[in-house]
Amino acid sequence: MLLIGYVFFLFAVYELAISKSWDLYSQNNTLKEKIGSSKASYTNKKELDRKKQILDIRISSFFVDSVSHQDHLLETVSTYCHQHQVLIKEIPPMVRYVEDDFQISTYKIVVEGDFIPLLKMVYLLEQKSKLGRISSSLFSLKYDPKRKKEILSMVLYIQNIQSYAHEKQG
């Protein structure tokens, strides 16, 4: 009888005190894990936000308003060419490539002239005027039978990124 009472006493102690403590201990460990993972996700979110800001800063210089940008590009190129005896041979219409929320505009400019003025023009368009990223420049020397001399020509490809989300904000 004493043994049955002892077993009953142990069962009662377990049910009333130990089981609730064990459940609270398990629940506490689960909450600690959730807090740890939420801190990590908060840190990851802050890191992602920082990286997004860096990318926004890097590509913001390529965001343009296409109509005013094209006018400004033509004005800059024609003014420079007139001042430095560079001949504009061709400026075909801009080519657009759209993917997701971005539009990439590519301008092609073909000019002829001496090497130094052409090189200075590349510098002007890319660094000083910030009219876009020069994605390619090709210099070629061709013989012109009409003028009976060799002519240096340059083909420039200037690219700009236009964001539809950027336009909606601005």
Give the burial class of 107: count Cβ atoms within 10 A of its Cβ; 0-12 exposed, 13-18 middle, 19 or more buried.
Answer: buried
Residue in 69, 52, 61, 62 with CA at minimum distance from that of residue 104: 62
Buried b (16+ CB within 10 A) or exposed e, 7-30: eeeeeeeeeeeeeeeeeeeeeeee
Q: What region, left, alpha or beta, does residue 112 occupy, with left being phi > 0 and alpha being psi -120 to 50 degrees? A: beta
Per-residue confidence in pLDDT tens, the chain, 170 aa: 778 888 888 788 777 777 777 888 888 888 888 887 777 777 777 888 888 888 777 666 555 555 567 788 888 899 999 999 999 999 888 888 888 888 888 899 999 999 999 999 999 988 887 778 888 999 999 998 998 999 999 999 998 877 766 454 54
Q: Where are the domains of the chain?
A: 1-60, 66-169
Q: How many CB atoms lie within 10 A of CB 162?
A: 19
Cα distance between residue 170 and residue 160, in whole Å: 17
pTM: 0.57
Please state the CATH superfamily assignment of the domain spanning residues 66-169 in this structure.
Answer: Ribosomal protein S6/Translation elongation factor EF1B (3.30.70.60)
Q: Cβ distance 111 to 86 under 8 Å?
A: yes
Predicted pLDDT of residue 56: 74
